Structures are given as structure tokens and as C-alpha cells.
Amino acid sequence: MNLDRVFENNKAWIKGKLEVQDDYFEELGKGQNPELLYIGCSDSRVTAEELMGAQLGEVFVHRNIANMVISIDLNVMSVVNYAVDHLKVNHIVVCGHYACGGVKAAMQSADLGILNPWLRNIRDVYRIHRNELNQIADEEKKYDRLVELNVKEQCVNLIKTAAVQKAYRDRGLKVHGWVFDVHTGKLIDLKIDFEKYLHDIMEIYHLD
């Protein structure tokens, strides 16, 4: 990528937008009203809007290494609370992806410095599901499955929050788990049974 071209690209992009709609930026400047919060990986191959075909203003986005929802991470928790309580999104998606470097790193035992406490949360996902994972002999399949289980556990972490539980009760907000297959470009809905998890979790984490 040639950084000198960035501003030229930007000019061309503005021109393209104005050709389709001459008040595009006036409208954009009025504010946002996204329906969806997307929590994905920082990986350069999984840009939220592009893989969904979404336009500016349609998706509120948070990305970090391995799409984690960690209760003591002020960053992700601020995003969730702002999106749910103020922007009033009705859907939250956790989107993982196959060939995720963060998940791969968590599968290996190595000292990665500041990344250790972050990756430990993925290692905890492995520990919770080790009976299933240890039965998978093929390392690639095990890796793919850990990506999926990590998405599931991050959805569970969302459902533990008061903001999500209240928004479900008040307006039927839903949490979805997806995986992007970088080998085919396909977006896969893991069809997480949100209501079942909510019901199970509320026995322990009921917050209102």
C-alpha cells in the first residue's frame, strides 16, 4: 500500500459518493443511527463493513485481537454500553475468523509478554471445552473449532452484562455469533441459541 496515494484515493472516493448522491456528506454529518454493533478481530482481512456490504452509518464497530469481550476491558465494555444504551442497537454480532493469529497464539505455549493476559482468555475457552477439543486429532480442524468456540464464549460474555440483559427485556435485543472464512470469503452464522444461553446465564448472572 502506497501511503502517498491515500489522499488521492480519498479524493476519488468523495467524488464517487457525490456522483451518486450530491448531499451524501451533509446527510452523513447529521449523525448516526446504526442497528448493529459488530465486535470483530483487528486482523487486516476482516473489515466489518466490506464483508457485510454495509454503508457508512450502518454499523458500530469494535475490533481487538481475537474479537474478545472481557468484562474488565474498559474499552470493549464502553463500546457495548454506548451502543446498547445510547445508540439503541438491536443486534450485537461477535464475528471471529478462521486462521486467526490470536487464537493460534493461544494454542501454543510461548511467552508473548503483554499479550499473555489477553491470550489467557482464549486459553480459558480451550480449558472450558477441552473434552471436545482434545477429541479432534486434526490440528487444523481443532484450530477452526476453537475459533468457533471462542466466538460462542464471547457471546456468552456479552449476555452476562447488565446492558444486554436489560435491552433484551426492554426491546428484544439479540446477540449473534458469526465466523468469517478467510479461505472462501463466506460469512457463517453459528446460529447461537441466544435465548437458551440467556436463560442459563440468568440463573447465575441475573443482574436486574
Which residues make up the interface to Zn ion (CB under 5 A)?
41, 43, 100, 102
Closest Cα partner for 154 from 186, 120, 125, 189? 125
* Annotated catalytic residue, options 62, 97, 144, 155: 97
Chain CA centroid to CA 18, Å: 31
Is 97 known to be catalytic? yes
Least Å distance, CB 45 to Zn ion, is: 8
Residue closer to Zn ion, measured from CB, 84 or 155: 155
Helices (H), the chain: 6-20, 24-28, 48-52, 74-81, 101-107, 115-128, 130-134, 139-159, 162-171, 194-205
Least Å distance, CB 9 to Zn ion, is: 25
Residue closer to Zn ion, measured from CB, 56 or 112: 112
Least Å distance, CB 90 to Zn ion, is: 26
Q: Residue 125 and residue 78: Cα distance in Å, rounded?
A: 23
Q: Are strands 36-41 and 59-64 parallel, antiparallel or unpaired?
A: parallel
CA geometry: angle at 61 spanning 16 and 75, to 5°? 140
Residue closer to Zn ion, measured from CB, 148 or 167: 148
* Annotated catalytic residue, options 45, 120, 169, 199: 45
* Annotated catalytic residue, options 100, 144, 155, 176: 100
Is 100 known to be catalytic? yes
* Annotated catalytic residue, options 43, 95, 144, 155: 43
Residue closer to Zn ion, measured from CB, 91 or 104: 104
Question: Is the distance from CB of 179 to CB of 147 less than 8 angstroms?
Answer: yes
Active site amino acids? 41, 43, 45, 97, 100
